[in-house]
Structure formats: structure tokens, C-alpha cells
Structure 1
Amino acid sequence: MAAPPTCEDRKATMGKAPARASRRSLPPPVLVLGVPAVAAPGRAAPVLGVLLLAFLVVDVAVGLVRRRLADSPDRREGHTPK
């Protein structure tokens, strides 16, 4: 049987992983402020994605309406609605 693969022969591109339970050595204020600081963007990311998608849909719709109005026959002949 072959030996199971290990990570010792590969070089980490992002550096070594932190040691297990290393957060226990952090001061309590760092944990109290750090956990919400890391969790807040993770919680807000889906909301920001939905807002960006809504903006893009509205922007495309406005662009299509403006293009359709600019290409209308009345617009090309110089006719202005009353």
C-alpha cells in the first residue's frame, strides 16, 4: 500500500495555517472587537450583492428605454411631442 499524501512536500502559497487554539492566546478585547469586525462584512455581503443586482437591473432597464426613445421615428424626424 502507498503512504497517504501529506502536505510536507508542497509549498503553501498563502503561508502556514495558524496553530490550533491560537485564539486562546489573544487578549479578550481583541476577541470582543475582532469577531464582530470579521462577521459583519460576511453578513452584509449577500445584502450588498442583492443591492448591486437591483441597481444593474434598473440601470439596464433605463438604458433600454432611453435607447428605444432615441430610436423612435418621431425623434428622428425632429418632432417634439406637445
Structure 2
Amino acid sequence: MRRLFWLLVGAGLAVFLLLRGRQLLERFTPKGVVEQVEKKGHETAAGFGEFMATFRTSMAQREAELRDELNIPANNN
């Protein structure tokens, strides 16, 4: 009974390592590296776009505040 238990544990571990190893191997192939770089590039571009939108909104709000405080008419260009 004890040997059967360890045989099953070993077989389960071997299957787990085989599947996990295949995933790791695919990550380090040229195709896998390209996919990872593309994913990070898209994430970075999206983050930068959000940053710029927030920056422009904040800049416009601050400009409106300063124009109001200094009694400067709004620039309607």
C-alpha cells in the first residue's frame, strides 16, 4: 500500500512537472518572448495614454483656476 501511494505521488508529480515545464519552455521560445514583449508594450501604451488623459484634464482645470483667480478671460482658440 505504501509503495502504491509513493508511485502515485511520483506519477502525479511527473505529470505536473511535465505540463509546467512545457509552459516554461514555450515562454522562452522566440514566439513566446515576442508575445510577452507585445503584451508589455500594449500595457505600457495603455498606461501612458491614461496618464496623458489625466495630465491634460488636470492641466485644463488648473489653467481655468488660474485664469479665474487672475481675472484673465478664457482663451477660445
TM category (shorter chain) comes to: 0.3 to 0.5
Structure number with greater CO (CA < 8 Å, separation at least 6) is 2
TM-score (norm 2): 0.46
Q: Which has a greater percent of helix?
A: 2
